Amino acid sequence: MRKLFHLTHSPIACYFRPSVRDFVVREIPLYEPSGAGEHLIVLVRKKELSTFEMVEILSNTLGLKSAQIGYAGLKDKHATTYQYLSIPRSFESKLSACSASLNERGIKVLEHRAHTNKLRVGHLRGNSFFMRLKKLTPLEAQKAINALEVLKDSGFANYFGDQRFGRDGQNYQEGEKILENLRITRDKKIARFLLSAYQSHLFNLWLLERMRLSAMIETCSPRELARNARGYGVPDCVLCDEGVLCALKEQEQFFKLLRGDVAVHYPYGRAFVIDDVGIESARFSKRQIAPSGALCGKKLISAQGVALEIERAFVDTRLREVGSRRYAWVWAQDVAYTYKPEVAQMELTFSLPKGSYATIFLETLLNRSLSQS
């Protein structure tokens, strides 16, 4: 899927390929281990392994079921990643005895402490990242620096990254086949993963539609939009009178809020339906709230009104997974960079909320897909 970004500079030319040297990910834990309890929180460093591959190695090496191993998030394979996992505390001595063997297979145990509960997906505050960009000329580096300064304040569209959809990008299609009974998957974990990829695909399509609408409102005058609404692709559900479009255009942020959107307090908090767009737009600009898109499923908090007319095209009611809302817009924190002209490289560090992709931040910065590297 081609993504639409909000920055207007020409694409930045450089080279980035995820590797253990040029891409480092560190989990930011939600809490510190208590020091007591039946579980063990383990910090590991892994290289060239997916989280699923790491869990399988630990399961086989320690002699415990993979279901007994908890983790807070899925981490990139082609990277050096520091992440937390949990195992029953009864395996503590075996973990110590097998540390050398694990290290040989790309898993280094760095520390471990007792805790009262097993780690669950989502039990993290966010992730910090290091990326090394190569073949970056001084001219392109200055463009990147200028864009970074804008991104610090503006935030960016929170697409799911391409890696969410598998090596060939088709995981979401396999998830849809499960819904259509065209694929039978006995492994419940794999089935949930593929269905989740399908949820993610629908979210990305919705976000792309809203980015297109926002771009039209941003670049066209209200009179042009009102006169040629269908020609510009403005959905019929957006009332195309000049007054309504003027109000949309007055919103400071690129992503335009609609009445009936579901917003969420940022960086975490409760969801609510937007009624007064003017008030919530001001809070959005101050990073107090952010709009959200649907990860469709049961118990989903749905948008209303105009926002629902757009959202319902990207909701599959056959999904019986638990639905949720995902931030459509997020902000990077702790952004820092060093440019080394003698080797034409930039070292970039930043942190993101959980569930957000460093590759999407980078694509927004470069204003192009990483597949064009």
**CA–CA distance, 364 with 293 (Å, rounded to integer):** 19
311 CA to centre of own chain: 19
Query: Catalytic annotation on 76?
Result: yes
Task: Decide the pairing of beta strands 124-133 and 324-327.
Answer: unpaired
Question: Which residue is catalytic, options 22, 76, 162, 261?
Answer: 76
Positive or negative CA dihedral for 269, 270, 274, 275?
Answer: negative
Peptide bond between residue 267 and the one before it cis (omega within 30 degrees of 0):
yes
User: What are 202's two structure tokens?
Assistant: 């629908």
**Helix, strand, or coil here: 81?**
strand
Nearest to 255 by CA among 296, 307, 313, 302: 307
Q: How many CA atoms lie within 13 A of 118 on its CB side?
A: 10
Nearest to 285 by CA among 254, 311, 315: 254
Q: How many CA atoms lie within 13 A of 50 on its CB side?
A: 7
- Residues in a beta bridge with 326: 293
Give catalytic residues, as residue numbers.
Answer: 76
